[in-house]
Amino acid sequence: MEYTHLRAGALAVKERLRSRGINIDTTFSSCGNGREDINHVLFQCRKMNTLFPDAGLVSPWLLWHIWKARNVFCFEYKRLDPANILDKAIMEAQIWRELQVPPRSETPLVSFNNGGAWIVRNPAGMTLLHSRRAFSNVSTPLEADLCSLLWSIESMRSLRLNKIIFESSSAILRDAFLNPSFDSPTWPMVLNILHTLDGFGEWRVEHVVPESNKVASMIASSVTKDRHYQSYVASGGPSWLRNLLEQEAGSPHQ
């Protein structure tokens, strides 16, 4: 058994057998949920993933021990216990991992703290609520913006606001949704945000110019600049930005 068999569709699952003219029900009997094809059995079936959570990490050793067990069965007429086969594969994989020395990275991993803020306005532009919080150990500016957006969305759901327009002035955040990179480490965060947005009755996410988002940006900057790490939610807007709040309320957003 080799990885090339997976790519060639050479595993004897029901879907492949049916394609060869064998008239059988293709329902996956282990879970009763979905068709028994290669993708479902190896990657999508929740029951199989629960039974073998480490299988993907020990694949080379697992395949090797399956091959050895097959030879024992064919030539020595002995049937080995599948649980023992898996245990040996996991043990050897663990030993191998412990012996590995990770290569020294020439690029240091940089983590930094970041602040986020949101403001809730009514259709007339009046500020109803505002909040701020800190995010720690953030690796990139995009990750910081995604964390801030997700936090804002979750906050609006907690406040039971069902019809809402989210506005952001982050260009990199806009590009993450308009030009998604499916192999990016931040792609799961993008998916999580889209999934969370589905909980609203009506919603839009819009990009605005930075001049229309000064208040939220200044509140967010105060988290790290002035070391205001304590999060809070308050009615209205902060008193130290009252004039700017009035200006933003009267200006059209772009």
Q: What percent of the chain has pLDDT over 90?
A: 19
The residue-averaged pLDDT of 185-209 equals 90
pLDDT of residue 12: 56
Confidence of residue 172 (pLDDT cuts 50, 70, 90): very high
Instruction: Summarize pLDDT for 65-96 with one digit per residue, the tens.
Output: 777 887 788 778 888 888 888 888 888 878 87
The answer to whether the predicted template modeling score (pTM) of the entire model surpasses 0.75 is: no
pLDDT in tens, 31-72: 777 777 766 655 566 665 555 555 555 666 777 777 788 778
- Every domain of the chain with CATH number 3.30.420.10 lies at 112-250
What distance in Å separates the CA atoms of residue 201 and residue 59, rounded to the nearest whole number?
A: 44
Q: Which tens digit of pLDDT belongs to each residue from 111-121?
A: 456 788 999 98
- At the top level of CATH, which class does the domain 112-250 belong to? alpha beta
